[in-house]
Structure 1
Amino acid sequence: MNQGNSKIFKLTMSSIGNWLIVLAIIWLLGSVGLGWLVNSILILFGFILIAPIVGFIGLRWWLNRNLIIDKCPVCSYEFTALNQTQCQCPSCGEPLKVEAGSFSRLTPPGTIDVSAVEINARQIED
């Protein structure tokens, strides 16, 4: 009737036994004069645990400095790109370059950018 509880107890006791064996081996190596080996293993485990945390924080810092969210100068579609790169607007396909935190059109030298203004026919007649 209480078979589930005995399995949990056995699992817990076996895991405690494993930890006791590991601690006994560490104590034995330290007493024999191989403390440097134990210390290097502990430093390695510490590095394995700390390296992903430091990497994650570093990646977030780099992305906050280099990720730009702006609107396309042609179609006003807002999207994200990396600073100091060239990209293409996903909406209109216009080639763009990212400079100083904003998007600008990637045009050949000597190209004049013209903005068209719509004039109603009534304004011309008046």
Structure 2
Amino acid sequence: MSLKSFPLYLANLRPWLTAIAVVWLLGLVGWSWFIKSFLILVALLFLTPVLAFLGFRWWLSQNLVQDSCPVCQLEFTGLNNTQMQCQNCGEQLMVSHHHFNRSTPPGTIDVQAVEVPAKSFEDA
């Protein structure tokens, strides 16, 4: 290293030396709590979105249900432990235990109506 290149070498080190000196002086004054708090805040700033994304994916995998309607057999998705309506037949469904169940009151009997032509007594 020659004396001519020494100022150029020192110019490259100046930002690093300044940063080290500032950190060292803050440590002497007792501001290490400030630096630690700042570093923790920066770490939380980067970790929070990642943890939130992973948590949301886990929650979605536990609560998203894909099943078929018990009435019309249309397959669609819904959230676990919620009540929803079939998109095809309009039946009210309850999503529980990762399956779609009809949410009809107890004692309800399903019947299929058949159209009967009207006859009068005079025709018979």
Normalising by structure 2, we get a TM-score of: 0.67
The 5 A counterparts of 1:74-93 are 74-93=71-90
C-alpha distance in 2, partners of 1:78/1:18? 63
C-alpha distance in 2, partners of 1:42/1:19? 18
Residues 43-87 of structure 1: CA deviation (Å, up to 9, x unaligned): 111111111111111111111111100011111111111111101
Match of 2:48 among 21, 31, 51: 51
Secondary structure of 2:27's match? helix
* Number of equivalences: 100
Residues 22-61 of structure 1: CA deviation (Å, up to 9, x unaligned): 6664444233220110001101111111111111111111
Q: Which amino acid aligns with 1:65?
A: Q
User: Any stretches of 5+ residues in structure 2 without a counterpart?
Assistant: 1-13, 114-124
Q: Which has the larger radius of gyration?
A: 2
2:92 is equivalent to residue 95 of structure 1: yes
User: Any stretches of 5+ residues in structure 1 without a counterpart?
Assistant: 1-16, 117-126
1:113/1:28 Cα in 2 relative to 1: closer, same or farther (>3 Å)?
farther
C-alpha distance in 1, partners of 2:89/2:16? 61
Secondary structure of 1:75's match? coil
Q: Which residue of 2 aligns with 1:35?
A: 32
Identity across the alignment (%): 53
- How far has the Cα of 1:89 moved from its partner? 1.0
Normalising by structure 1, we get a TM-score of: 0.66
- How far has the Cα of 1:113 moved from its partner? 3.7
Q: Which residue of 1 aligns with 2:4?
A: none
Secondary structure of 1:40's match? helix
Q: Which residue of 2 aligns with 1:122?
A: none
C-alpha distance in 2, partners of 1:81/1:22? 54
Bigger helix share: 1
Q: Which amino acid aligns with 1:80?
A: T
C-alpha distance in 2, partners of 1:18/1:87? 62
